[in-house]
Amino acid sequence: MAKVIKFKPVRNKSKDRVLNRVTKNLFRIIFLFLLLTIIFYELYYLIIDTSYFEIKKITVKGNTSIPTKNILKIANIYPGMKIYELDKEAVRKRIETIVLINKAYIHYEAFGEISIDIQQRVPFSIVYDGKIFYEIDDTGTILKTGLKTIDDSLTIITGIHPDTDVLPGDKLKSEKLTLALNIIKKLGQDSLSDISEINVENKKKVYFFSLNGIKIFPGEIDNFKKIYPLVLKKILSLNRNSRKLEYIDFRAGDEIVYKYSG
């Protein structure tokens, strides 16, 4: 009886190992993809649909005369706004378009809390051109115009003639104005308390008017500031039969020239 010998093909173990490895890696990739999908979905929900990344508190500091709500409206920033939507530089620029604001600084106080520090422009003097009053800060930037709204306790500068089309927010540029502002800064508040007007029409012949109408030629400002109160007190103490003191001239250095009416 004939015998049939059957041969089983030898399995390629190397190929089996490769197939198993590919299968396992594919499973891992699918699992990782599903896991990342879940993670990204949760992050999207956390960022977009929850209040975790919202601005919860906005603090404005330094706005002594400007309502906070007005600043926030112009800044276009509000509680509930997403933190990642906040462009601090754009907010700063929008705030600084407000005439009375010189500088604005925006920073984070804590997560979800924004602080806006305001540096306001301070009224420094008034320019009067014979028709219009311009309230300005110490840089010459116009804050207000018109007699009704300005601070009439400020020293008036005359002899300067701005362009008729200047508006609040514009900066007056003039050598005469620079001279007048420097004089005011040198004099200080104590000396200015008796000075109502500074005229710089002629830069070489600057003169003041006191509150009681005395015309004053100051000469060198530092010297004037030092001796003016003493000189005025001395002159006013002289008996001139109630005649009005017209002017005092400090331009001769050590010699003080003064004149009474009549």
The 10s digit of each residue's pLDDT in 123-152 is 999 999 888 899 999 999 999 888 777 777
Predicted pLDDT at 19: 64
Q: How far apart are CA 118 and CA 91, in angstroms?
A: 12
Q: pLDDT averaged over the chain?
A: 84
Which has more confidence, 189 or 10?
189
Helices (H) and strands (E) in the chain, counts: 5, 12
Residue span(s) of the chain under CATH 3.40.50.10960 come to 125-260
Q: What is the mean pLDDT of residues 172-181?
A: 92
> Alpha-carbon distance 200 to 42, whole Å?
70
Q: What is the pLDDT of residue 212?
A: 83
Mean pLDDT of 47-75: 84
Q: Which part of the chain has CATH 3.10.20.310?
A: 57-120
User: pLDDT of 51-60, one tens digit each?
Assistant: 667 888 999 9
Least confident of 38-47, 58-67, 172-181, 187-196: 38-47
**Statement: residue 31 has pLDDT above 90:** no
More confident residue, 98 or 234: 98
20 closest CA partner among 10, 28, 8: 28
Sheet of 133-136, strand order: 142-145, 133-136, 125-128, 156-158, 195-199, 207-210, 215-217, 245-252, 255-260
CA pair distance 123, 40, nearest whole angstrom: 54
Q: Which CATH superfamily is domain 57-120 in?
A: membrane protein fhac (3.10.20.310)
Whether 41 shows a pLDDT value over 80: the answer reads: no
Its pTM surpasses 0.75: no
Min mean pLDDT across 26-30, 40-44, 107-111 is at: 40-44
Are 221 and 198 spatial neighbours (Cβ–Cβ below 8 Å)?
no
Answer CATH for 125-260 from 3.40.50.10960, 3.30.930.10, 3.40.50.720, 2.60.40.1220: 3.40.50.10960
Structure tokens at 86: 């906040």
Choose among 98, 91, 132: nearest CA to 114. 91
First to last CA, the chain: 165
Asked if 130 and 159 touch (Cβ cutoff 8 Å), the reply is: no
CB 246 within 8 A of CB 261: yes
Token representation of residue 115:
């602080």
pLDDT at 225 over 80: yes
Give the sign of the dihedral formed by CA 238, CA 240, CA 245, CA 246: negative
